[in-house]
Amino acid sequence: MKRFLVFIAATTSLMLLTPACWAKADSLGINKDCESHPVSDYGMTSITAFSQYQAESKKITDAMTSFCNKGKSMGDMGFGAASDQSETESRQWSNANLPGQSDEQKAFRDTTAHLLYYAMLNGFSGFDYPKAPEQNNAPPVTGFSPYETCNAISSDAAEYSTSQLPPNVKISLSEWKQIKSEFEMVCLAGVMNGNGQKPVDKKLMAGLNDIARDVYLQSYKIGSTHPKLSSPEQNDAVREKKNATERAVKEKRNAAIIQQNRKDREKQMVMNHQVQQSVASLRNAVMQRMNHTTDFSGKKCSVKVWLSQKGEVLSAEDESGDAGLCSAALQATKGVKINSMSDDVYNVLRNVTLNFDL
């Protein structure tokens, strides 16, 4: 008969107990209710569907209770030895008490042996097996990250595996993490095989217990429903291509900025030259209209002039300086017209101050 293994967590927890605890190993299952609950409700449901159980229910339940109570007395054994003895005795009892060669009779005999095996180990460990697959639901996944997925699945499995320990049995955080890491390795194997469209690893499955098998199949299904992950080499190539594209875009953008800055500087230089020419033309035009400039030698005056875009003087006023020179300058601005100006130049010369230093 194929060996039915209790999940990895039980093995790990028992292996991590100190020698002093091993000497009192009976206490692991001492609180197990073997009379009314030798196996899990899920386990009982799996056998009550057989018509043969209806005729022999008392014999089967009595055997489960007996096997469970015997498990309580096996504290001097290690887990491996307890598992071996449970498997042997459960098969012997089923073969001796449940004869028949029809397919249904064989299935009933195998199911009974399966439950007797768990009944004895439940008495030994205090757990409640077999576990229903529905209790190990996949966590909600919004994206595909194998490590995040398996972190959630393995945490759930570890929580479940330790939640049914008797109240007087405690495990440390490091022991819990060890249990979780065992499930996580199984999960990663399942999720990567599923994602790689590889068949279920039957050899691996054969060596797992019920909960570990659930973890593997659950993660395998999740992996198979997501697009295949790229290999590290492909990821590197994609990453390098992305980086190269980003560099090219950045270089192109920088080149465009440099070119635009150069155009802006050239445009500014042209405009500055035009402004200087317009101011010089305006000042020269005013100076040409002023008479007797020698009379104002050593004098200074600042006059503010408003222009139209066509270059016409609209108005003027003195700002500071010699009154005589300013009066002559204001009189000279009347009727002055220079060349029309571009929008950019006019924005600068809409009004301009002319300085006269004679």
For residue 288, give both structure tokens: 């040409």
103 to 51, 73, 79, 115: CA distances (angstroms): 13, 35, 33, 18
β-partners of residue 66 are none
CB-neighbour burial class of residue 248 (10 A; exposed 0-12, middle 13-18, buried 19+):
exposed
| Average pLDDT over every residue of 194-203 | 85
pLDDT at 158: 83
Report how far residue 101's alpha carbon sits from residue 14's, in angstroms, rounded to the nearest whole number. Answer: 39
| Average pLDDT over every residue of 203-222 | 84
Helical segments of 98-231, H only: 103-125, 146-163, 173-195, 202-206, 210-224
Examine the pLDDT at 134 and tell me if it is beyond 50.
no
Report how far residue 151's alpha carbon sits from residue 67's, in angstroms, rounded to the nearest whole number. Answer: 36
Report how far residue 303's alpha carbon sits from residue 326's, in angstroms, rounded to the nearest whole number. Answer: 7
**pLDDT-derived band of residue 8, with 50, 70 and 90 as boundaries?**
very low
CA atoms lying within 13 Å on the CB side of residue 126: 20
pLDDT at 66: 93
In the chain, DSSP finds a helix count (H) and a strand count (E) of 13, 3
Examine the pLDDT at 63 and tell me if it is beyond 80.
yes
pLDDT at 137: 46
List pLDDT tens digits, range 282-295.
989 988 888 777 77
* Cα-only R_g, the chain: 47
Examine the pLDDT at 266 and tell me if it is beyond 70.
yes
